[in-house]
Amino acid sequence: MKEIAVITIGDTDAEATLTLLDQKVHVRLFACGGDVEKAKALIAEVDGKVDCIALDGLPAQLQLGATTRPHKLGAQLVGEAKLTPLVDGSGIRGGIERWAVILADRAQPGIFAEKRVLLAPGLNHSGLAQALVRHTEKVRYADPIIYFGLPYLPLVGSKQTLEQTAAPTLERLDDAPFRRLRPEAGTPHHERSDDPFLWADVIAGDIGAIRRYAPQQLKRKTIIAECATQEDVDDLRQRGVSILVTLMPSLDGTNDLGQWPAAVVEAVLVALRRDESMPLSEDTYLDLMADIHWTPGIRYLQPDEAGINKFSFVIHPLNVSFIHKHPIFRWTKYLPDDLVEWTAAYMPPMYVSRITGGKSPTTGQRIEGYLYTLGATPRQMMKHDASFSYGQINQVARMAERKGARILGLGAFTSVVGDAGITIAHESDIAITSGNSLTVAMTLEAAKKAVQLMGATDLSKGKAMIVGATGSIASVCSRLIAQAIGNVVLVSIEPEKLLELKRTIQRETPGAEVTIATKAGDLISDCDLVITATSAFGQRVIDITKCKLGAVICDGARPPDINPKEAALRPDVLVIESGEVLIPGDIDFGYDIGLPPKTSYACLAETALLAMDGRFEDYTLGRNITMERVKEIYKLSLKHDFQLAGLRSFEQYITDEDLAQKRALADQYRADPELFARARAEAQRKLQDIPVMAKGVKASGSFDKRWITVGAIGAGAVAGLLALGRVGKSKGK
Exposure string for 349-366, b = 16+ CB within 10 A, e = fewer: bbbbbbbbbbbbeeeebb
Give the pLDDT of residue 707: 37
pLDDT at 371: 96
So what's the pLDDT on residue 201? Answer: 95
**Which carries the bigger pLDDT value, residue 375 or residue 164?**
375
Mean pLDDT computed over 140-166: 83
Rank 156-165, 610-619, 643-652 by mean pLDDT and report only the highest.
610-619
pLDDT at 727: 38
Lowest mean per-residue pLDDT among 108-112, 301-305, 484-488, 721-725: 721-725
- Which element (helix H / strand E) includes 423? helix 422-427
In three-state secondary structure terms, 203 is strand
Between CA 1 and CA 34 the distance in angstroms is 29
Q: How confident is the model at residue 729 (pLDDT cuts 50, 70, 90)?
A: very low
Residue 615's pLDDT is 95
Query: In this predicted model, what pLDDT tens digit does every residue of 206-253 receive, in sequence order?
Result: 999 999 999 999 999 999 999 999 999 999 999 999 999 999 988 876
At residue 522, what is the residue type?
Answer: D
**Is residue 694 scored above 70 in pLDDT?**
no
Which of the two residues, 47 and 593, has the higher pLDDT score?
47
| Largest Cα span, the chain | 114
Cβ neighbours of 496 (radius 10 Å): 9
Q: What's the confidence (pLDDT) of residue 733?
A: 42
pLDDT tops 70 at residue 717: no
User: What is the spatial order of strands in the sheet that 552-555 belongs to?
Assistant: 513-517, 487-491, 464-467, 529-532, 552-555, 574-577
If we measure between CA atoms, which residue out of 424, 428, 409 comes closest to residue 605? 409
DSSP type of residue 525: G
Contact 172, 166 (CB under 8 A): no
**What backbone phi and psi angles, to 5 degrees, belong to 516?**
-120, 150
Give the separation between CA 438 and CA 318, rounded to whole angstroms. Answer: 22
pLDDT of 535 reads 66
Nearest to 325 by CA among 600, 722, 732: 722
Residues 615, 82: Cα–Cα separation, whole Å: 57
Q: What are phi and psi of 686, to 5 degrees?
A: -65, -30
If one counts every other C-beta atom within 10 angstroms of the C-beta of residue 23, the result is: 12
140/120 Cα distance (integer angstroms)? 9
Beta strands in 170-283 (DSSP E): 202-205, 222-225, 243-246
The strand pair at 350-359 and 585-588 is best described as antiparallel
Give the C-alpha separation, 347 to 657, whole Å.
47
Q: What is the pLDDT of residue 651?
A: 83
Q: If you average pLDDT over each of 47-56, 319-328, 528-537, 593-602, which comes out highest?
A: 47-56
Alpha-helical segments (H) within 301-419: 320-325, 337-344, 378-383, 386-403
Supply the pLDDT for residue 253: 63
**In this predicted structure, what is the pLDDT of residue 254?**
64
d(CA 591, CA 728): 8
Give me the pLDDT at residue 713, please.
Answer: 34
What pTM did the predictor assign? Answer: 0.80
User: Is the CATH code 3.40.50.720 the one for domain 446-581+647-698?
Assistant: yes
Sheet of strand 2-8, all strands in order from the earlier edge strand to the far edge: 14-20, 23-31, 2-8, 52-56, 86-87
d(CA 680, CA 676): 6
Residue 113 sits at the vertex; the CA angle it makes with 717 and 181, to the nearest 5 degrees, is 155
The H helix count followed by the E strand count for the chain is: 25, 32
pLDDT tens, residue by residue, 299-337: 999 987 778 999 999 998 878 888 887 778 889 889 998
217 vs 201: CA distance, rounded Å:
13
Percent of the chain clearing pLDDT 70 (strictly above): 93
Q: Which SS3 state, helix, strand or coil, does residue 487 take?
A: strand
The beta strands (E) that lie in 512-646 are given as 513-517, 529-532, 552-555, 574-577, 580-582, 585-588, 599-601, 643-644
Average pLDDT on 684-698 reads: 76
Residue 490: in which H helix or E strand, if any? Answer: strand 487-491
Find the range with the poorest average confidence among 512-521, 533-542, 688-697: 688-697
For residues 201 and 402, what is the distance between their CA atoms, to the nearest angstrom? 8
Residue 349 has pLDDT above 90, yes or no: yes
- Which residue would you say has higher pLDDT here, 670 or 164? 670
What pLDDT score was predicted for residue 696? 53
Average pLDDT over the chain, rounded to an integer: 88
Confidence of residue 121 (pLDDT cuts 50, 70, 90): very high
Contact 535, 564 (CB under 8 A): no
pLDDT, tens digit (0-9, with 9 covering 90-100), for 382-420: 888 889 999 999 999 999 999 999 999 998 778 878 888
Nearest to 680 by CA among 577, 552, 587, 547: 547
State how far Cα 522 lies from the chain centre.
Answer: 47
Q: What's the CA gap between 595 and 646, in Å, rounded?
A: 11
Question: Could you tell me whether strands 350-359 and 693-694 are parallel, antiparallel, or unpaired per DSSP bridges?
Answer: unpaired
Q: pLDDT at position 434, please?
A: 92
User: How far is Cα of residue 65 from the mean position of the Cα atoms in its chain?
Assistant: 31
State the DSSP H helix or E strand holding residue 50, giving kind and residue range, or none if neither.
none
> Lowest-pLDDT range, 552-556, 561-565, 726-730?
726-730
Pairwise CA distance, residues 300 & 306, whole Å:
5
What element of type H or E holds 550? none
Query: Checking phi first, is residue 502 left (phi over 0); if not, alpha (psi -120 to 50) or beta?
Result: alpha
Q: Is the peptide bond before 196 cis (omega within 30 degrees of 0)?
A: no
Residue type at 157 in one-letter notation: G
